[in-house]
A and B are shown apart, each in its own frame.
Chain A
Amino acid sequence: MAVTLLTTVTVIAMLAKESFVFFSEVSIVDFLMGTEWHPLLVPQSFGVLPLVFGTMTIVIGSVLIALPCGLMVAVYLSEYTSAKGRKFLKPSLEILAGIPTIVYGYFALTFITPIIKSIYPDAEVFNGLSGSIVVAVMILPMISSLCDDAFRSVPSHLKQGAFAVGANTFEVVSQILIPASKTRIGAAVILAVSRAIGETMAVTLAAGATPKMGLQFLESIQTMTAYIVQVSLGDTPQGGIEYQSSFAVGALLFLMTLVMNLIGHQLVFKKGKYDS
């Protein structure tokens, strides 16, 4: 406990210290509102928005893919499969969460990207879609597992009431079960978003290193995390403004995931009945 707390405090202190140095040279407004990010070219520009857009591309793309798939998996687990099937399927799904993210990165680059290029020949080698798909695979277990828990916590007498007025399983799932679980589905999405924001290795490998404004799925982009990797790989001298910029990006990233996690946990542990 003490070690965890100490680590957290140290991380926050470091982020704050280095960001402070950075913001004494670059104004916060220019950082948050700027639309150009090229810290390694002269003249330097530190507008973080292209990196934020890069991250948003991955987040939006991956959630759009993982949410419907995750819901379908959760519905299958909670309503259609037998207790036996569930016992086998749920752990196998959770194995997905244990695969090293760098492996996912290679998987994206060598398997998903060629498929994308065969459908969209104009797509670049590094592209937002490939990153989104691979991050979707990574967050799928979390979404399906949390939604499965949500569905199973809907009282069985509510479902039986629905069956008793002549509803079939699909109608019960789509019109009773999912609406009754909407808060907890929302929580699952928020926790998944926070995971997608923080995802690093896979998107660095798959999505590229070209900061761009707007949501670009077929072009090379750069996420906030991928930029931090780029700096840490040693392209920049320690102590320079470029080096410190990675801490500013890190601090922003930290704040974003923190807020998401707080909202998500609030929803997951929200007490009380199923929604009305």
Chain B
Amino acid sequence: MFIEIKNLDIFYGQKKAVKNINLKVKKGLVTAMIGPSGCGKSTLLRSLNRMNDFIPGARVEGEVNFLGKNIYGKNIDPVELRSKIGMVFQKPNPFPKSIYNNIIWGPKINGYEGDFDELVEEALKGAALWDEVKDRLHESAFALSGGQQQRLCIARAVAMKPEVILMDEPCSALDPKSTLRVEKLINDLKGKFSVIIVTHNMQQAARVSDETCFMYEGELIEHDKTETIFTKPAHKKTEDYITGRFG
């Protein structure tokens, strides 16, 4: 199994934010996580590449097995793990560097030995940004629009050639047009990478994902094919949420 979560609990201090999650994620698919605000979907996502390590008071119990190894086990280097499981954040967060250096920074510090120019072109093409920025690769990344910055952050993740790209509400700071471009991009990434995307936008989940998880108050209520979740969900809670009765 690609990613297998077993009996996972996540605490912030005394508060249990994620409760007893058991979930299997398949390779090469786009998996969406939906649910109302505060249901723990972002917390669960961030536990998959140990970004919760940076939150004081956060504590994890249970297992997250990635390619057969528990990432919370001994002898796991979170730095190395993150080079295989990349992440795109809610707000575009390019580094205060040029477009070119934004892409190559991660591969460079991780000892990439190939040709950097090729890598930059490949990553930017992969993120559907190449045509817009190919003539100004050495300008500051801050000169780009918000939507372009977010695609640059996706390119930055792609350049690491990770197994998985985690996306934490990647479109929440973007306008509808940029959102559509990013969604199209997620579709293009499918097959090459496994994508796990957290979104508060149900239509977005329906448009981009193959499988969908519905979470509510820290629990995983339902996990199935996206089509099934949106047409004949097995649980009443899921149905109430996707039909807009709450959330």
A residues contacting B by CB (< 8 A) are 82-83, 155-168, 171, 175-176, 179-180, 273-276
User: Are A155's CB and B93's CB within 8 A?
Assistant: yes
Residue of A nearest to B56 (CB): A83
B interface size (C-beta, 8 A): 30
| Chain B positions within 8 Å of A82 at CB level | 56
How many angstroms from the CA of A106 to the CA of B54 in the assembled complex? 45
In this assembly, does B157 line the interface, its C-beta being within 8 Å of a C-beta of chain A?
Answer: yes
Partner of B51, one of A164, A179, A274, A276: A164
B residues contacting A by CB (< 8 A) are 49, 51, 54, 56, 79-80, 82-84, 86-87, 89-91, 93-97, 105-106, 109-110, 140-142, 153, 156-157, 160
User: Are B51's CB and A163's CB within 8 A?
Assistant: yes
Please judge, given known A-B contacts A160-B51, A160-B89, whether A167 and B95 are in contact too, CB under 8 Å.
no
A-B contact pairs, 5 of them (CB 8 A): A160-B87, A161-B87, A166-B82, A166-B160, A176-B96
User: Are A175's CB and B82's CB within 8 A?
Assistant: no
How many angstroms from the CA of A176 to the CA of B110 in the assembled complex? 15
User: Are A157's CB and B156's CB within 8 A?
Assistant: no
User: Are B91's CB and A165's CB within 8 A?
Assistant: no
Partner of B93, one of A158, A175, A276: A158
Residue of B nearest to A176 (CB): B95
With most chain A CB atoms within 10 A of its CB, the pick from B87, B95, B153 is: B95
User: Which secondary structure dominates where chain A touches chain B?
Assistant: helix
How many angstroms from the CA of A6 to the CA of B98 in the assembled complex? 50
| Chain A positions within 8 Å of B91 at CB level | 157
Distance in angstroms from B100 CB to nearest chain A CB is 14
How many angstroms from the CA of A163 to the CA of B79 in the assembled complex? 7
| Chain A positions within 8 Å of B80 at CB level | 166
Distance in angstroms from B78 CB to nearest chain A CB is 8
| Chain A positions within 8 Å of B157 at CB level | 164-165
User: Are A162's CB and B95's CB within 8 A?
Assistant: yes
Residue of A nearest to B83 (CB): A166
